[in-house]
Amino acid sequence: MNDDHAALAARIDRTNELLTRMLAEVAKTPSTHAIFVDAGYLYAAAGRLIAGTEDRRAFDLDAEGLIEALIDRARTIFADSRLLRVYWYDGARRRIHTAEQQSIAELPDVKVRLGNLNANNQQKGVDSLIRTDLESLARHRAISDAALLGGDEDLVSAVEAAQGYGARVHLWGIEAPEGRNQAEPLLWEVDSQRTLDLDFFKPYVARRTAQAYDATGTNRPTREDVRFVGAQIAAKWLAARGREALVELLPGHPYLPGSVDQDLLVEAEGLLQYSLRGQADLRRALRDGFWEHVQTQY
């Protein structure tokens, strides 16, 4: 009998040892987050907030700059976590990328998923795409946290599926001029809620005017002109802050912190005497020029 007790105690000790090792390995595993953006909700809510309309034709959205700002915000919230990627869900006729969707798909760390767009310009199948990705990533332990920018009640099942595999889902919303723009059942289901306000979106959404460019008559600068200005501003930025500032800046490459990106845009527009709002290719050239100079100094 004593031998049986001794053997049982040994097995229990062995099991506890294995559990301790496993928990230690889990503790060492870095947490990972992903950002899920329902572009239909984003355009409608941000458009209404900034431009007073949900019609995409009435305003320009700097998707690249906004994605960088979302990544920067997630980096602050999930401080000890790494980004897997940004998932961008939108609709398109016959699921063929528009030029804008294609440019978004070419961004680093971004994956575009397309549902259908019906005759009334309504998205179809987007919610099921979000659920599929959320559930799959959670099931395979690819993410520990999901930041979901959306508001449709149909997303409740996606949240439940991810939570069922142990992932935490954090709902991000856009400030509503009045009332709510997110379904209550969705708000009840998530692990946390956060609202992005007017100031967050102002740099990236601008009402479109009849005349696409500045009324000053200034010619549109070339990408090389803008790239050079980006490098100039980077040199000035480094001179003011010192090389020590690179320690915080470089880990985020190719993205810039939201505050730095906004200062870069404003200063560049002043030097160029030209608005870069809604000019995705020129804003990319501006950031490229900034980063190229920064990297030569490291």
- Contacts of the segment 272-275: beta carbons below 8 A, 24+ positions apart: 272/218, 272/221, 272/225, 272/226, 272/229, 273/214, 273/216, 273/218, 274/213, 274/214, 274/216, 274/218, 274/220, 274/221, 275/213, 275/214
pLDDT at position 211 = 47
Percent of the chain with pLDDT over 90: 40
At the fourth CATH level, the homologous superfamily of domain 28-207 is 5'-nuclease (3.40.50.1010)
Average the pLDDT over 185-211 and give the result. Answer: 88
Q: Where are the domains of the chain?
A: 28-207, 223-296
Average the pLDDT over 55-81 and give the result. Answer: 90
pLDDT at position 230 = 85
Q: Which of residues 243 and 268 earns the better pLDDT score?
A: 268
pLDDT at position 4 = 65
Q: Where are the alpha helices (DSSP H) in 36-98?
A: 39-50, 63-77
What pLDDT, in 10s, does the model give residues 10-38? 777 777 777 666 555 545 557 999 999 99
Q: Enter the pTM of the model.
A: 0.67
> Band of the pLDDT at 267, cuts 50, 70, 90?
confident
Distance CA 262, CA 256 (A): 9
> Band of the pLDDT at 121, cuts 50, 70, 90?
low
> Band of the pLDDT at 272, cuts 50, 70, 90?
confident
